[in-house]
Structure 1
């Protein structure tokens, strides 16, 4: 590891020595490195007009040192084209503007003793930074989240994207913190506050594509992409190139080592053609992070590649199968990809609770065969959720479950979410049963905005309600400011009586999780599950201390028979009235009951 990975003066300042980009060498000396294999000559153009030729090196690299320091604005010039630094750590406004030299060691960390928390203690809370007003807005809610029982915040992507409003998955400068959210120092201060309150901070990173506006790589680095493989976003990133691999590995390590994130969530890795890169990325991180520090790596992966999980490479995976089988039980929906989960749904839920993945090599109605056997994995290899940015925001109208599902059924599903041995993830506002939508929003230029708006509305033309054009016109325009404003969570409504009851439920369930379940999770084994009736299942997990955790859940509208013998001490029932029904050998409709049998 380069000595630049450690502070020069104090032990509470951090910088990661990235291969590409601007590296501050001293107060008035900066080194620039730029990969442009299609270029013959490259200059650095400083604001003010100074031009510095770069030296051509092997492998398509260009390098130069300049007498400049923090705050210097610069671009790279290739012929008549001026471009921002693809490894820019900060931008002077937006993706088309100048890059800025920063000092990563400018922030003095207050909680350097923080080592993170073990993975099994994770209770994750996903937020969109922009809807909270930036990094300072996130910092403001951290005490509330700690009091709720959350142990980790997961931030949707932060890399510079075009405009000031975006989910973050249109980022084009992965190293630069989105300027509309705050400065790099603001982000570090927010993470410091989280650590002060005992919360980990995870970051969602996008290494499978670049956004549609502001990506200049095609102009000077054609080798960054491969035209023989295409993804939904265009030509696939070419991970066969060493410069490409190092670009993303450095980026991951910058977030972990310099910004002190406690983990990364890798977006849609099924769109990364080179699976060996995923192993290489994990191995590089594991061998670099300081001994004794907990850093967690999580995948989103439609391929259900169980062999990547279990902690050697990646700690866990977002369990879309879990969500996709439960959501139709709660809402009655049976359109789109939910059709893959509604046929024989009860047995699919049994498999999900006992083995993790539902699809373990089988083909679904809407796709090819996918998945690997996962029954050997511990329950904590699966991150489960009832709602997240995708499952809410990718709905045409952004409705949340509080609008779509019966209250008692939602209470039962929440009980399963928070008290099963799998890792729970909450979406901002879920804990007070927010009915406010979370919509898809952007701030593209006029031409791209029309394409996105029309494409968004056409996505839903095969859904029954939206087959009529006048109904598709009701789908909010992603580029409209109101769409963004309507998606901002209203924390004020959480104090209203009906919402406060939900917060009380979440807080109580998380208290039970921390007291009764988390200490027993190391060494927990997969569940033995069976159907009780339509949309009703019982599952029993053997925990690490030999105790047995049983959850009986009935998401149907009628009671179902259940064994009269109670499987231990009752930890929680989602409905008080269900206790007397259970005494009669029945599991009430829309009910979950949780039992613990001590070793």
Structure 2
């Protein structure tokens, strides 16, 4: 339960105490604002200083309202807890404490136990559809699901990264009650639930803050996705801190993944955010905050539990597919060496300049524990930001992908799967939208420019992101070999929990090296034991020193010889001593 002092301090939008509802709006560019209700009545809001307006009234939960600006524009509450009839429709006065939690004593799971599963709520069938997936994921061994962003957005189809109402669960996915039911059911099954949040920009359609609070944005600052936000303003900081606390307190999410924090030009805010959010919540809860940070700023870790480690994905992807365009160019010359450094130290680039960039990237990360890095073979970005949305099994030899899966789940770093990966899905995952035609056309043209280096050919044209068919085609379907993939993942997860998880809090690298162009040897000290992984992604035979201990898992052919262990092409071995 959130400390009442903190709930009052971070009170934004519409809330009710007893029968008295209060509505608060920060509109520093205006001299007056009205509030109106769905029955057609309206009232002037009182100016209470520093750009804030407030109105109090005796109103029940379920009351639909919106704000009317002096020029006649009707806008939703930027802190709307529920939206009806779209983002331009009605905000709804919502009972934050209306759900009776069945798992009221749930305190979360330790970070070391985390095996993430990234899922798109819309493709899963909304919040109710995600809930139906939970039993099979728990049976597989997944311990945490990560929902792609749910903040309300224009239309009914979106990745979620163009949300404009950061406090409101997307109407297209279901009600706040349905989302709380999903989280409650996950906790019943022993699953943590993470939410991906986008605090670095607003979507290009439906953000009305510019009309009444242009001070929310930093003049002249731009991100790749729109106007830059002014994180030096206390009102802006309070907005995002309150939003995070809402998801963690009212919905009982177990953690947040902060999207693209490299587009938040204030490390001070990021550290304040971390402190304030943790201070607001009960000390006995396991609450985990994870960042995506293209700059590989190790200074945020381990204050934040971990960072998505794109370096791992890129190095493995080059080894599996041979692709070297765009950001893969930085891993093209020696992917095995890069991967060895990643496994031993976290980042591949720790101040060096990749061939794909003009400036140095990254910071020293070898002092950080392996659990500070979230590794994956696929995610929404790396799959959906391809012209044809190909999954890894459409690009690489399945036998080599199995080796990568073993490395992902048996290395000490925190593993993440992308929806459908566990049953060998080969259906594409596209970028999809549901925008008005003018914006939809701008997106088509933008993606055409982005992928100008690729020639789709006359017989293969990319799908229009704005068509419903593109969304439907992104539904992950099991491959013909689904049972074999499920069996492999189930076994690897069980091995991780048997050998790695119990000692992850006391884990340090004992070194890693490339053995030729496509083979890696990596080791870690797990408590009092040594854990060594050998993986040969190539077709050539490689011989190396035989690790101490016994082999506990293998793929492909390997044999002990007088001068060590021989790894045939496409092989993997894990040793424990």
TM-score (norm 1): 0.93
SS in 1 for 2:350: coil
1:562 alignment counterpart: 544
Deviations 1:391-423 (A, max 9, x none): 111111111111111121111111100000000
1:408 alignment counterpart: 399
Which moved further from structure 2: 126-135 or 445-454?
445-454
Once the two structures are TM-superposed, the CA of residue 212 in structure 1 deviates from its matched residue by 0.6
Once the two structures are TM-superposed, the CA of residue 303 in structure 1 deviates from its matched residue by 1.1
Q: 1:133 aligns with which of 125, 146, 151?
A: 125
Deviations 1:111-157 (A, max 9, x none): 01111011011000000000011111111111111111100000000
Q: Report 1:185-584 matches (<5 A).
A: 185-310=177-302, 313-367=303-357, 368-463=359-454, 465-466=455-456, 470=458, 474-490=461-477, 493=478, 496=480, 498-543=481-526, 545-563=527-545, 565-575=546-556, 577-579=557-559
1:9 alignment counterpart: none
2:141 alignment counterpart: 149
Once the two structures are TM-superposed, the CA of residue 227 in structure 1 deviates from its matched residue by 2.1
Which moved further from structure 2: 584-593 or 213-222?
584-593
- Whether the 8 Å contact between 2:544 and 2:564 is mirrored in structure 1 is no
SS in 1 for 2:205: coil
Say if 2:56 is the partner of 1:65.
yes
C-alpha separation between the residues in 2 aligned to 1:548 and 1:135? 42
1:591 alignment counterpart: 571
- Whether the 8 Å contact between 2:2 and 2:280 is mirrored in structure 1 is no
Once the two structures are TM-superposed, the CA of residue 584 in structure 1 deviates from its matched residue by 6.7
| RMSD over aligned Cα atoms | 1.7
TM-aligned CA distance change 1:5 to 1:260, over 3 Å:
farther
TM-aligned CA distance change 1:225 to 1:525, over 3 Å:
same
Q: Report 1:30-45 matches (<5 A).
A: 30-45=21-36
Once the two structures are TM-superposed, the CA of residue 231 in structure 1 deviates from its matched residue by 1.1
TM-aligned CA distance change 1:483 to 1:262, over 3 Å:
same
1:121 alignment counterpart: 113
SS in 1 for 2:405: helix
TM-aligned CA distance change 1:585 to 1:477, over 3 Å:
same
1:10 alignment counterpart: none
C-alpha separation between the residues in 1 aligned to 2:167 and 2:312? 33
C-alpha separation between the residues in 2 aligned to 1:93 and 1:205? 23
TM-aligned CA distance change 1:3 to 1:590, over 3 Å:
closer
2:87 alignment counterpart: 95
Once the two structures are TM-superposed, the CA of residue 336 in structure 1 deviates from its matched residue by 1.1
Consecutive unaligned residues of structure 2, counting only runs of 5 or more, are none
TM-aligned CA distance change 1:229 to 1:320, over 3 Å:
same
Consecutive unaligned residues of structure 1, counting only runs of 5 or more, are 7-14
Q: 1:162 aligns with which of 154, 158, 175?
A: 154
Say if 2:164 is the partner of 1:183.
no
- Whether the 8 Å contact between 1:18 and 1:254 is mirrored in structure 2 is no
- Whether the 8 Å contact between 2:116 and 2:145 is mirrored in structure 1 is yes
Which moved further from structure 2: 342-351 or 179-188?
342-351
- Count of residues paired in the alignment: 575
- Whether the 8 Å contact between 1:32 and 1:64 is mirrored in structure 2 is yes
SS in 1 for 2:283: coil
SS in 2 for 1:105: coil
C-alpha separation between the residues in 2 aligned to 1:582 and 1:428? 44
1:11 alignment counterpart: none
Q: 2:76 aligns with which of 67, 80, 84?
A: 84
Deviations 1:543-593 (A, max 9, x none): 1x2211100111112111211x33311111122x33468997321112221
- Whether the 8 Å contact between 2:37 and 2:64 is mirrored in structure 1 is yes
C-alpha separation between the residues in 2 aligned to 1:16 and 1:190? 27
C-alpha separation between the residues in 1 aligned to 2:294 and 2:125? 32
TM-aligned CA distance change 1:226 to 1:285, over 3 Å:
same
